[in-house]
């Protein structure tokens, strides 16, 4: 019996970009999508994330990003990992309202516009979610 010790992904940062591109190609084929790559911000986010899991966690993040992505490039908002502000907004100061709106929209994308599920995930009631969407002028999700 031979034991092979493979260090966790967080200790192999140099592999993240190559693995991400591999999983991107795999899930584009599987889901019949044409996504050419990652935005610089998305790659920076993937490379700066601590990765408490291992390669499977990265694979799951890429699969979800390909599923949610509606453009030809995966952007930082398509990733389901926490990103530092410098990645998401290039170091600009962001208002709490802007962050709240983006988070609500992200959860709505994840639930495919299902406001009941989104409000549960956000920990608010459906009426509060409706009022926030109205406040932020988000018409596409404000009516069902």
Tell me the pLDDT tens digit for each residue of 39-53. Answer: 998 998 899 888 887
Per-residue pLDDT, 144: 40
Per the structure, the complete domain to which residue 56 belongs is given by 9-85
CATH of the domain at 32: 1.10.8.60
Q: Residues 6 or more apart from 14 whose CB is under 8 A from it?
A: none
Which of these three, 38, 54, 85, is where a domain ends? Answer: 85
Per-residue pLDDT, 49: 85
Q: What is the pLDDT of residues 120-129, one digit of tens each?
A: 988 999 999 9
The single-letter DSSP state of residue 38 is E
Establish if 4 belongs to a structural domain.
no
Establish if 135 belongs to a structural domain.
yes
Tell me which residues of the chain have a pLDDT lower than 50. Answer: 91, 142-144
The number of C-alpha atoms within 13 Å of 26 and in the hemisphere containing its C-beta is 13
In this structure, the chain runs to a length of: 144
| CA–CA dist 109, 141 (Å, integer) | 10
């Amino acid at each position: 019996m031979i034991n092979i010790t493979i260090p966790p992904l967080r200790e192999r940062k140099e592999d993240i970009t190559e693995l991400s591109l591999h999983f991107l190609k795999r899930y584009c084929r599987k889901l019949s999508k044409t996504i050419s790559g990652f935005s610089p911000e998305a790659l920076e986010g993937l490379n700066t994330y601590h990765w408490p899991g291992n390669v499977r966690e990265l694979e799951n993040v890429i699969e979800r990003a390909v599923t949610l992505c509606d453009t030809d490039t995966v952007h930082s908002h398509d990733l389901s990992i926490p990103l530092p502000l410098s990645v998401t907004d290039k170091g600009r100061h962001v208002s709490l309202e802007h962050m709240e709106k983006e988070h609500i929209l992200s959860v709505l994308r994840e639930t495919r516009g299902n406001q009941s599920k989104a409000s549960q995930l956000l920990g608010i009631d459906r009426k509060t979610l409706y009022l926030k969407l109205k406040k932020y002028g988000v018409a596409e999700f404000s009516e069902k």
